[in-house]
């Protein structure tokens, strides 16, 4: 496979994006596969490179949170409160798009656009150097684990991008939280992610959580089986599973390092102290390492269902779903 240039040159990234090419960009959550969001030909390249079905819409990344109305018709009060509180950062807001500006391809024909202002300094600098926003899904082949380093992108989509902007390992490690607003103005969480539900509720009160658990392609994104390694992954009942699979080579993602494991178990601790934030940051890289290691199956334990632990558990359950 041909290697694409990896570097920290914002001008170079901007150069290719202005020409309608794809560039991988770092964000605080995961790496994105970016193109000019206002150019349908460029956006089409994203779907082709990822092998992504056209019914799965793309998030549009912006560099200025005071310019939301450039892209959307209306900003509900609670959306403004959330943007003020969490932008730049790992929060995506679904808002009624200006159809004359945002191409249908970006939103898969839906009337809303997912907008996000990332906080990674290189992403922000790039967005501010460009006269257009960037459509960017996670930079992985559809259904596989999201990339959290430039090297992950190189390994999987390397030959399909003009340049990989290297911003180091992603700080948050799971994708943005996606929030929409229903007819009654209620706040609805559609995807758990880098901003905890508790933190959103602290700003706007109780929210509804409507995660799509189905395999129904009419409901965009969030298919039950997603973020998945190729090896089988089983959750919880660690001790039982270790006995059950004692003849196999086992990969184990632990919350904290354990010293009581048999020799057939290769462990990757996700944190030193059990913090959900650390687990989120290390989760996808650990899944990749185990997927590539000489093991037969992966075991993992879920976290307490609070804060970022909920997003980590969501990714683990989708990775385990077959």
Do residues 241 and 234 make contact, with C-beta atoms less than 8 angstroms apart?
yes
The tokens describing 34, both together, are 């970016």
In the complex, least distance from residue 295 CB atom to ligand TXA, rounded to whole angstroms: 27
CB of residue 121 vs ligand TXA: minimum separation in angstroms?
A: 15
Judged by beta carbon distances under 5 to 8 A according to partner kind, the member of Mg ion, ligand TXA, none in contact with residue 59 is ligand TXA
Q: Which residue of 92, 138, 149, 313 would you call a contact of Mg ion, by CB under 5 A? A: 138
Give the per-residue contact string, 84-123, with Mg ion (x = CB under 5 A; - = no).
----------------------------------------
Q: How far is the CB of 203 from ligand TXA (least distance, A)?
A: 19
User: Where do contacts with ligand TXA occur on this chain (CB under 6 A)?
Assistant: 27, 29-30, 32, 56-59, 90, 92, 94, 107, 110, 112-114, 116, 118, 136-138, 175-176, 178, 220-222
Nearest distance in Å: CB 137, Mg ion: 5
Size, binding site for Mg ion by CB under 5 A: 1
CB closer to ligand TXA, 43 vs 233: 43
Residue nearest to Mg ion (CB): 138
């Amino acid at each position: 496979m041909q290697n694409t240039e990896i570097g920290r040159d914002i001008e170079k990234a901007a150069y290719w994006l202005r020409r309608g090419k794809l560039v991988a960009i770092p964000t605080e959550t995961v790496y994105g596969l970016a193109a000019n969001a206002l150019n349908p030909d460029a956006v089409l390249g994203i779907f082709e490179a990822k092998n992504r079905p056209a019914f799965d819409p793309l998030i549009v990344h912006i560099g200025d949170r005071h310019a939301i109305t450039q892209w959307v018709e209306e900003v509900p009060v609670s959306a403004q409160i959330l943007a003020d509180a969490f932008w730049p950062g790992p929060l995506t807001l679904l808002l009624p798009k200006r159809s004359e500006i945002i191409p249908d391809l970006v939103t898969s024909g839906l009337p809303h656009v997912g907008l996000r202002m990332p906080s990674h300094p290189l992403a922000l600098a790039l967005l501010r150097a460009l006269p257009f926003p960037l459509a960017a899904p996670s930079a992985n082949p559809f259904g596989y684990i999201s990339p959290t380093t430039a090297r992950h992108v190189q390994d999987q989509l390397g030959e399909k991008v003009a340049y990989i902007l290297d911003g180091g390992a992603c700080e948050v490690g799971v994708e943005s939280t996606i929030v929409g607003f229903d007819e009654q103005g209620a706040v609805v969480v559609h995807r758990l992610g880098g901003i905890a539900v508790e933190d959103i509720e602290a700003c706007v009160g109780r929210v509804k959580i409507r995660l799509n658990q189905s395999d129904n392609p009419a409901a965009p994104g969030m298919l039950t089986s997603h973020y998945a390694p190729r090896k089988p992954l089983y959750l919880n009942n660690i001790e039982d599973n270790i006995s059950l699979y004692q003849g196999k080579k086992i990969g184990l993602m632990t919350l904290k390092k354990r010293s009581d494991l048999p020799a057939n178990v290769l462990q990757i601790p996700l944190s030193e102290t059990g913090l959900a934030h650390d687990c989120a940051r290390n989760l996808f890289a650990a899944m990749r390492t185990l997927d590539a290691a000489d093991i037969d199956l992966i075991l993992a334990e879920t976290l307490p269902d609070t804060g970022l632990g909920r997003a980590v558990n969501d990714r683990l359950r989708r990775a385990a779903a077959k």
